[in-house]
Amino acid sequence: MRGACIIVTLRLAPRQSPPGRSKACTSDRLRLLVFRRMRWNWVGIVVLALACAGPERGVRGAEATLTIQVEDVEGRPVRDARLRVLRTNDPEELPVQSGTTNRQGLARMHPTPGRYVVRVDAKDFVSLLRADVRVAPGASPHLGLRLRHAVRLEGRVRDGAGKPVADARWLLIPSDGTVPRLETRSDAQGRFHFEGVLPGPAILRGIKPGRSPVRMELTLPRPELAVTMGGLGSLRIETRDPQGRPLPGKPQVLPPDGEEFVLSVDSRFGESQDPLIRPGLPAGRYRVKASYSPVPDCKWTRTVSVDVLPDQQTQVTVGFEDVAPMPSWRGRAVDREGRGLGGRTLSSELGPRGIEAEGLNAYCQSVTDPEGHFVLAAPLPGPVDLYLEGGGPRSWGLVEPREAWSDAPWVFQSHGGTLRGRVLDSQGRPVKRFRVSDWPFENAEGRYVMDTFYEQTYQWIIDAEGFATAILRAQGRAHEDASAPDVILDAGRPLQGRVVAADGRTGVPHQRVVMLDDSEHYLRPPPASARSVTTDARGDFRFEHVPARRQFLLVEGKERGTALRRLEPAEDTVELRLAPAAELSGVVTDHARVPLAGMEVDVYCEGGVKESTQTDARGRYTLRAPAERECFAHVSERSFLNTLVDPPRPVVFSPQRIQLAAGSGARLDFEARRGPASLHVHFPYGEFHKPLLLPGDVPMPETTQALDALELASIDADPLLTEENAEVISAASVSSSAPDLIYSEMPLGHYTLFLLKDLNGGSHVLRVPVDLTHTGMHPLELTEPMMGGATVFPR
């Protein structure tokens, strides 16, 4: 006998599951390996592989059958069409299933329930993409697809000398966005061709490094295409002063308009004997910028456009012959009270702004004398922007812009105001080093200066070593310097605390305890300047300088649990009991119970915590969420839609409020929102707008904390699709510049929209009632919160 085995029989009792969770084993399988050594041999027997008992969570049901009927436009079946079923959440992956149609043009697929993209390719037909094919459990959907007859496009590309151009990259972009783009390369003889081309208008683009790009608008079908792909061009640039004399210097050449795939143009000139020749430019439209100084401290610039042609040198002149300066302006700069603004640098600017703006621009400088008098040399006709710098942290601008000379004083006001103040200790002595809301100051007088661009109440946290933090609230002015009351710091009180585990007895070492002010405990993540300490080996911690106002203590132990506790002003001892994270799980589906893969599930909680995950192929998700605090769960669609030529309509959801028990398991399923109305929100011009849409008639919050809490519960807008430039061969996407948002599938009813703009230490908030009283799209035009009528919440 050279070996032996041992047979083991085990009987397992089902594990008791916490409330709200399905019965499931801790691991998927249990393996028992028994080894016995006999002489030189090892014998291993796998005795058991037991699957856990209990139902599996998620959408389940009978296997679905997807029947696909492929026909041509005359209704005749298309045989041997190649079908690919791709996941909508990642259509670049390998197909879930593939197949071909039979003689009747039929194919039957058996994908698991979900949302898919179906691609059809057939000889002599145009390829077709059908997005948003939904397969429900146990269903037998029928998908009818009609293919259009295709044509073939053949071409030959040569250079300017008639020689073939090999390995040029070609992209054919049909006018119909539901048809995939086609791509190919030219061979050694310069030939290229496209199969499966859609008849009708199309754009052909070609590119090869070291040659000029090609762009052609075609109507297909057509005979063989003869294309010339020229070489690079060059620019010969002349610059002239107002008298027509050549100007010294090297003008700047800017990249061509709208040709993202063209290599960037170096603004420096190459090693050339003629400094005004710029060689090696791909054909296209360029901008050339040149400068001229008519007098010291004054510079004119002109930017012109020019088309560079392949294999040619293009001549361009950037001149100032048509520019005639006006006589110098002499004036006096004063403030609103008529006081002279002396010792300031006066700057004037006329014309379009920005490095790529075409046209004439003039920028000149002067310095005011002690009484504010100035001389502005070589002004140009037109509206001129004047501003002063020096004598303070902010620049000053004209109260009323002028287009011509006038003997009246030039009245300026500051573009922003300031709040000035001091930080003292309880004995009235200056505190030399401190921070005002993360801005450091260090001086012997304990002084600070903060910018105030708007007329509002400002709130800052003053923090200095050895003192408790203090809150400074002061009224700032938009165009004035103002003084704030002295801030008196005190030592505060010590706070002794302990972090204990869920059993309430065991101390938890090495935990970071963060102290947050009342206005900070919703911020994500907590500010870096927040005070923190680490527990010792027994779980004890101590803060030395605690202010006499409400605070929050936060512990994010992850593995051991979390804690968020309000600290009242009189408390000097505290115990923080860690609440083990809860397991939140569920399934995300559309209206027809189709599981949705790749959806983002985010949980936002009080205390600035965010936990995220994605749904799997069956629409299931699981994440660990903080317990014993208010949270809101949001589901949103990923940006995979941008990879599709004709993206499907996004699936939208409404947030759900949750408050989980420590260590619990809770199930939370999401179904796509279903409603007959949509809201189209058009924002005012500008940036930094944040909309919060909530159901019902929600009053304006009274505090900054209450405003932050609304953000957790607000409804997410539809995902913004990026706009892809169809003619860029690299298929690079750029963000949409349109600030508008859409809220689709909204149930009828009353809503409240809050429009926030966070700037300069405050949130300016407009409250807008929204009534979705009928089906269809509801347009909503918003006004700028900074223009008045807003409630200001100081930060």
Q: 438-484 pLDDT, tens per residue?
A: 889 999 999 998 888 878 888 889 999 999 999 998 888 887 888 99
For residue 388, pLDDT over 60 is answered with: yes
CATH code assigned to 233-319: 2.60.40.10
Decide whether 329-414 matches 675-795 in CATH topology. yes
pLDDT of residue 273: 34
pLDDT band at 87 (very low <50, low <70, confident <90, very high): confident
Mean pLDDT over 352-368 rounds to: 76
Q: Which CATH superfamily is domain 417-489 in?
A: Carboxypeptidase-like, regulatory domain (2.60.40.1120)
In the sheet where 631-636 sits, what is the strand order? 609-614, 600-605, 631-636, 656-658
Percentage of residues in the chain with pLDDT exceeding 70?
81
For residue 401, pLDDT over 80 is answered with: no
In the sheet where 225-228 sits, what is the strand order? 191-197, 151-158, 225-228
pLDDT of residue 1: 39
pTM (2 d.p.): 0.73
Distance separating alpha carbons of residues 734 and 620, to the nearest angstrom: 32
pLDDT, averaged across the chain: 82
Mean pLDDT over 62-89 rounds to: 90
pLDDT of residue 330: 85
37 or 154, which is more confident: 154
Mean pLDDT over 151-161 rounds to: 95
Give the CATH class of 151-228.
mainly beta
Mean pLDDT over 687-697 rounds to: 87
Report the candidate in 344, 364, 207, 192 with the shortest Cα–Cα distance to residue 292. 364
pLDDT digits (tens, 9 = 90+) for 593-625: 899 998 999 999 988 888 999 999 899 999 999
Indicate the CATH number of 675-795 among 3.30.160, 3.30.2000, 2.60.40, 1.20.1250: 2.60.40
What does the block give as tokens for 239? Answer: 């610059």
pLDDT of residue 222: 93
pLDDT digits (tens, 9 = 90+) for 191-207: 999 999 999 999 999 99
pLDDT digits (tens, 9 = 90+) for 739-774: 688 999 999 999 999 998 877 677 889 999 999 999
237 or 446, which is more confident: 446
3-state class (DSSP) for residue 552: strand
Distance separating alpha carbons of residues 400 and 110, to the nearest angstrom: 73
The residues pairing with 691 across neighbouring beta strands, listed in sequence order, are 755
For residue 89, pLDDT over 70 is answered with: yes
For residue 6, pLDDT over 70 is answered with: no
pLDDT digits (tens, 9 = 90+) for 95-147: 888 999 999 999 999 998 999 989 999 999 999 888 889 999 888 999 999 99
pLDDT band at 311 (very low <50, low <70, confident <90, very high): very high
Report the candidate in 212, 375, 332 with the shortest Cα–Cα distance to residue 283. 212
Distance separating alpha carbons of residues 321 and 360, to the nearest angstrom: 12
Distance separating alpha carbons of residues 138 and 113, to the nearest angstrom: 8
Domain boundaries, the chain: 1-55, 151-228, 233-319, 329-414, 417-489, 493-573, 675-795
128 or 350, which is more confident: 128
Distance separating alpha carbons of residues 645 and 732, to the nearest angstrom: 13
pLDDT digits (tens, 9 = 90+) for 515-574: 998 888 787 777 777 899 999 999 999 999 999 999 999 998 778 899 999 999 989 999
pLDDT of residue 385: 80
Q: What is the sign, positive or negative, of the torsion defined by CA atoms of 333, 339, 342, 347?
A: negative
Half-sphere exposure of 443 (CA within 13 A, CB side): 10
Distance separating alpha carbons of residues 281 and 232, to the nearest angstrom: 5
pLDDT of residue 734: 28
For residue 213, pLDDT over 80 is answered with: yes
Distance separating alpha carbons of residues 346 and 367, to the nearest angstrom: 6
What does the block give as tokens for 52? Answer: 């856990």
pLDDT of residue 784: 77
Give the CATH class of 493-573.
mainly beta
Q: Are 234 and 274 in contact (CB under 8 A)?
A: no
| Count of other CB atoms within 10 angstroms of residue 339 | 11
Task: Kindly list the distances between the CA atom of residue 750 and the CA atoms of 754, 769, 770, 774, in Å, as whole numbers in the listed order.
Answer: 14, 8, 6, 11
pLDDT digits (tens, 9 = 90+) for 475-510: 888 878 889 999 999 999 999 999 999 999 999 999
Angle in degrees, CA 513, 518, 522, rounded to 5? 75
Mean pLDDT over 419-431 rounds to: 95
Decide if domain 329-414 falls under CATH 2.60.40.1120: yes
Q: Are 100 and 81 in contact (CB under 8 A)?
A: yes
pLDDT of residue 426: 94
Strand bridging mode 182-185 / 540-546? unpaired
* DSSP secondary structure string for all residues of 375-444: EE-S--SS-BEEEEE-SSSS-EEESS-BSS--SS-EEEEESSEEEEEEEEETTSPBP-EEEETTEEEE-T
Return phi, psi of residue 211, to 5°: -135, 160
